[in-house]
């Protein structure tokens, strides 16, 4: 027989087309939840509700003609509305903000319009006030998160169009200045200063130019140099607060007024407190114990250890929120998460530090703990945005096989066989 001839088909030598990669399975809802962040939020909500229950009942009985549980019932309604808003914002996410920036402009215009209506009403009535709709709506509280959202969208969509750092600084300063000026005219100096600080903070989070930082710090020093002496005529209460702060640093025993009563509340509470509902300062001594002075009541009834628990919970919120910001899948998510968390924790720090005399009393509310529907609802709705950023990060990581890919460590610590080095004969049967 002659030699056999192998017949090779031409297509046999051609490289096979790569197989399409299977699509990643959809992420189940429970895998996209940042459970530590959600539990921290719920812990703050429970702690704040307990504090408001204790302080508001005493305030209603001794200083108003309303029923004892009037503020407690209203707070329960605010909690329900706030949680509903948080779930809605969490479910919708921040994708619509990125896809339709005009929605944010409409939201900012609504806040500006409400501030203008408030100023017009005060001017016509010849009074000063910070709320609308019979005290149910406080526009200044909405201005803070709306400014954060507006600047987060603006800095991620318009920044590339900025010709230089001066134009960007002027633009951010103008946007922030409009909000701050309208809040200042209520008048509300502490809220206006907070709004201005938030605007500059968002610029820094977005990666401010070194010249922008120097210029901003210079303006801040100039404002303090001129504003503190002028505060004697413009804002006399601020002079008293600075004086009490200075006395508290030098000789705490000689401090007077609100700060004195707050310090005495902590001294009466000691390490373990007198018990929830058993404090005496909230009845007559502390002004507004259910809002501005709530941390002093916590120090008396919960003790120093209870106050440390509250501070630690806010510390956990800061840690987890910044972790969400660093793991965000896009710049807008980083700005939203970082700005909202720093705003809420900053407000709490200013309130608590002012109560114990570590900072001048600024009049900032304590999120979750100070009674107020506007503050609580916007706080929970804003945290819904942070939860949505965390969910997007988890979905993106799962799609890329990030934390879920198997990593095999072929070392003794894994109790597996080591890989044979070059030149080593593998054992038979291995």
DSSP string, 218-285: HHHHHHHHHHHHHHHHH-HHHHHHHHHHHHHHH-GGG--HHHHHHHHHHHHHTTT-S-TT--SHHHHT
Please report the pLDDT score of residue 216 as a whole number: 82
For residue 132, report the phi and psi dihedrals to the nearest 5 degrees.
-125, 170
Give me the domain span that covers residue 38. Answer: 32-397
Return the pLDDT at 187: 78
Note the pLDDT tens digit of each residue in 245-302: 777 777 766 677 778 888 889 999 999 999 998 888 888 778 888 888 999 999 999 9
pLDDT confidence tier of residue 423, bands split at 50, 70 and 90: very low
Predicted confidence band at 308 (pLDDT cuts at 50, 70, 90)?
very high
For residue 415, is pLDDT > 90?
no
Q: What is the pLDDT of residues 348-385, one digit of tens each?
A: 999 999 888 888 887 788 999 999 989 999 999 999 99
pTM of the predicted protein model: 0.84
38, part of any domain: yes
Residues 6+ away with beta carbon under 8 Å from 43? 313
Task: Give the per-residue pLDDT at 221.
Answer: 78
Residue among 353, 269, 265, 271 at smallest CA distance from 305 = 271
For residue 23, being part of any structural domain is answered with no
- The per-residue pLDDT for 23 is 59
Sign of CA dihedral 376, 379, 382, 384: negative
46 in a structural domain? yes
pLDDT for the residue 414: 41
387 neighbors 93 (Cβ within 8 angstroms): no
Q: Number of folded domains in the chain?
A: 1
* 381 lies in some domain: yes
Which of 3-17, 308-322, 411-425 is predicted least confidently? 411-425
Residue 359, pLDDT score: 83
DSSP letter at 137?
B
Q: What is the pLDDT of residue 371?
A: 93
pLDDT at 231: 64
Q: What was the pLDDT predicted at 208?
A: 78
CB neighbourhood size of 405 (10 A): 7
pLDDT for the residue 403: 47
Evaluate whether residue 48 is within a structural domain: yes
Cα–Cα distance measured from residue 109 to residue 105, given in angstroms and rounded to the nearest whole number:
6
In a domain, 346, yes or no: yes
């Amino acid at each position: 027989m002659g030699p056999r001839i192998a017949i090779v088909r031409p297509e046999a030598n051609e490289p096979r087309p790569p197989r399409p990669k299977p699509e990643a399975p959809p992420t189940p809802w429970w895998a996209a939840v940042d459970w530590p962040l959600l539990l921290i939020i719920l812990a703050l909500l429970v702690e704040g509700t307990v504090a408001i229950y204790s302080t508001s009942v005493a305030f209603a009985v001794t200083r108003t003609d309303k029923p004892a549980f009037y503020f407690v019932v209203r707070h329960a309604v605010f909690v329900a509305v706030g949680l509903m808003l948080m779930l809605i914002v969490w479910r919708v996410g921040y994708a619509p903000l990125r896809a339709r920036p005009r929605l944010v402009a409409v939201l900012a215009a609504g806040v500006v319009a409400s501030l203008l209506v408030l100023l017009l009403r005060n001017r016509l009535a010849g009074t000063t006030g910070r709320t609308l709709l019979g005290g149910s709506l406080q526009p200044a509280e909405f201005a803070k998160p709306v400014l954060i959202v507006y600047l987060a969208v603006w800095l991620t969509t318009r920044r590339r169009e900025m010709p230089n750092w001066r134009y960007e600084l002027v633009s951010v300063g103008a946007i922030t200045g409009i909000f701050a000026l309208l809040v200042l005219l209520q008048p509300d100096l502490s809220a206006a200063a907070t709004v201005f600080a938030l605007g500059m903070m968002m610029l820094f989070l977005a990666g401010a130019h070194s010249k922008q930082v120097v210029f901003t710090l210079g303006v801040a020093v100039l404002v303090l140099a001129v504003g503190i002496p002028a505060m004697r005529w413009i804002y006399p209460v601020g002079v008293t607060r600075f004086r009490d702060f200075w006395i508290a640093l030098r000789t705490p025993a000689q401090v007077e007024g609100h700060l004195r009563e707050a310090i005495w509340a902590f001294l009466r509470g000691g390490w373990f407190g007198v018990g929830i509902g058993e404090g005496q300062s909230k009845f007559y001594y502390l002004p507004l114990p259910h809002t501005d002075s709530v941390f002093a009541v916590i120090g008396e009834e919960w003790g120093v250890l209870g106050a440390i628990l509250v501070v630690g919970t806010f510390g956990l919120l800061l840690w987890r929120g910044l972790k969400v910001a660093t793991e965000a899948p896009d710049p807008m998510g980083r700005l939203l998460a970082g700005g909202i968390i720093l705003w809420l924790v900053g407000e709490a720090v200013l309130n608590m530090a002012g109560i114990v005399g570590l900072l001048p009393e600024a009049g900032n509310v304590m999120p979750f703990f100070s009674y107020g529907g506007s503050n609580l609802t916007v706080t929970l709705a804003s945290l819904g945005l942070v939860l949505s950023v965390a969910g997007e990060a988890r979905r993106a990581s799962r799609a890329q096989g990030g934390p879920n890919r198997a990593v095999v460590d072929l070392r003794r610590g894994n109790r597996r066989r080591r890989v044979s080095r070059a030149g080593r004969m593998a054992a038979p049967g291995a």
